[in-house]
Amino acid sequence: MQISAINVYQVDLPLYEGSYKWSGGRSVDVFDSTVVELITDDGIFGLGEVCPLGPAYLPAYAAGARAGIAELAPHLIGADPTELALINRLMDQSLRGHPYVKSAVDMACWDILGKACGQPLATLMGGRYGEDFALYRAISQDTPKRMAANVGGYRAQGYTKFQLKSGSDVETDIARIHLVAAQLKPGDVLVADANCGWTQHEALRVADGVRDVNVYIEQPCLSYEECLVVRRHTNRPFILDEVVDDLKTVVRGYNDQAMDVINLKISKVGGLTKARQIRDLCVSLGIAMTIEDTWGGDIITSAIAHLAHSTPTEYLFSATDFNSYVTVSTAIDAPQRLKGRMSAPSGPGLGIEPRRDVLGDPVFTHR
């Protein structure tokens, strides 16, 4: 089987809540998502998606995804999309770095592999653990009172895991964490995600100010080294996200006992092939994971569902249903949240069909 054509689409994904805000005054109103369609000489096509969390979250931006895919496209024509390792090596040899660019292509190749062998990705990735898995809800940064007030609405949607966007000034963040924690019920999980927003001394003050609260601390500072100092001074369970962007960092973090949980985002590490490798290593090492991406719609949510559902339940800390945050649906049969939980589609590959009317015409095609 060979890749014979590549279509790239651009889709705007507005948010039901109007905007999403996190540390450093960063926010997104409309997500700019890129959808890749790989067409093969067998007539099978595969879908992938990449959607950066704006241009200032990771070294990634929406137009860069499309420019990078255009750069890769000539190398991909004629390659066998079912040979995932070879495809990834080809992409790494053709374009250094830029893992997020490769993520959508890798995802589309997985979709083709699943369709070619008639199996859903969850099966190819090891099989399903249980009927479904738990999701978390991100609580966009706002005043402590308004953030606490939002918990009830999200719980009514079935969520029991909440990720609080913090990483602003120390006093406000301590108040945020206390006020939201007061809303929790037995069994709920609360994470304070600073998204690199605290300096080391600020993070130590927040960690000290919440030492009696049942809360996880996620990615307090910009660098791995600063996070490690905070980790060594707090009694709270600890999650690393932005600094964990490859397998080597997971190994380093394991050796340093730098975290209890990692946040594994598919595009951050370069696609499902590399995410699965990291996932399997984390399971072997006993590191739990939040499995998600930087954002996205139905296609990314489906990919998340397959990777999450094929992760042993005790190591799946949580996952994200991004398609429930956005007002636009790009695919039929994408997984939907039910009582705060989700399951992977049962059809072959990603198990979804594109909504052609929503994707519109490709922004470019390469044959």
Determine how many CB atoms are found less than 10 A away from the CB of residue 68: 23
Among 37, 111, 193, 245, binds Mg ion (CB under 5 A): 193
Asked if 292 is part of the footprint of Mg ion (rule: CB under 5 A), the reply reads: no
For the CA atoms of 60, 61, 63, 69, what is the dihedral angle to 10 degrees?
Answer: 20
- Which region among 124-132, 263-271, 315-323, 359-367 touches Mg ion (by CB under 5 A)? 263-271
Q: Are 352 and 345 in contact (CB under 8 A)?
A: yes
In the complex, least distance from residue 358 CB atom to Mg ion, rounded to whole angstroms: 28
DSSP class of residue 263 equals E
Helix (H) or strand (E) run with residue 310 in it: none
Unique residue bearing structure tokens 């695919």: 331
**Ramachandran bin of 255, using left for φ above 0, alpha for ψ from -120 to 50, beta for the remaining angles:** alpha
State whether residue 216 is helix, strand or coil.
strand
Question: Could you give the 3-state DSSP secondary structure of residue 270?
Answer: coil
**Measured from the CB of residue 325, what is the shortest distance to Mg ion in angstroms?**
15
Cβ at position 277, least distance to Mg ion in Å: 21
Residue 53 or 125 having the CB closest to Mg ion: 53
- Comparing CB distances to Mg ion, the nearer of 109 and 217 is 217
**Per-residue x/- mask for Mg ion, residues 216 to 255, rule CB under 5 A?**
-------------------------x--------------
Q: How many residues bind Mg ion (CB under 5 A)?
A: 3
Give the single-character DSSP code of 349: B
Residue with tokens 């689409």: 9
289, 261 contact by CB (below 8 A): yes
Q: How far is 19 from 31, CA to CA, in rounded Å? A: 10
Bridge partner list, 7: 37, 365
Site string for Mg ion, 295-324 (x = CB under 5 A): ------------------------------
- The CA distance from 218 to 201, in Å, is 15
Nearest CB to Mg ion, comparing residues 163 and 323: 163
- Active-site annotation holder among 102, 115, 161, 165: 165
Residue 52 vs 114, nearer CB to Mg ion: 52
CB of 269 vs Mg ion, minimal distance in Å: 14
Closest separation in Å from C-beta 132 to Mg ion: 23
Active site annotation includes 165: yes
Tokens 């999450």 found at: 308
Whose Cβ is closer to Mg ion: residue 80's or residue 260's?
260
Q: Are 274 and 99 in contact (CB under 8 A)?
A: yes
Of the ranges 75-83, 88-96, 260-268, 347-355, which one interacts with Mg ion (CB under 5 A)? 260-268
Q: Is 102 a catalytic residue?
A: no
Nearer to Mg ion, 160 or 318 (CB): 318
> Smallest gap, in angstroms, from Cβ of residue 292 to Mg ion?
9
Q: Which of 102, 265, 268, 274 is catalytic?
A: 265
Show which residues are catalytic.
Answer: 165, 265
Q: What residue ranges bind Mg ion (CB under 5 A)?
A: 193, 241, 263
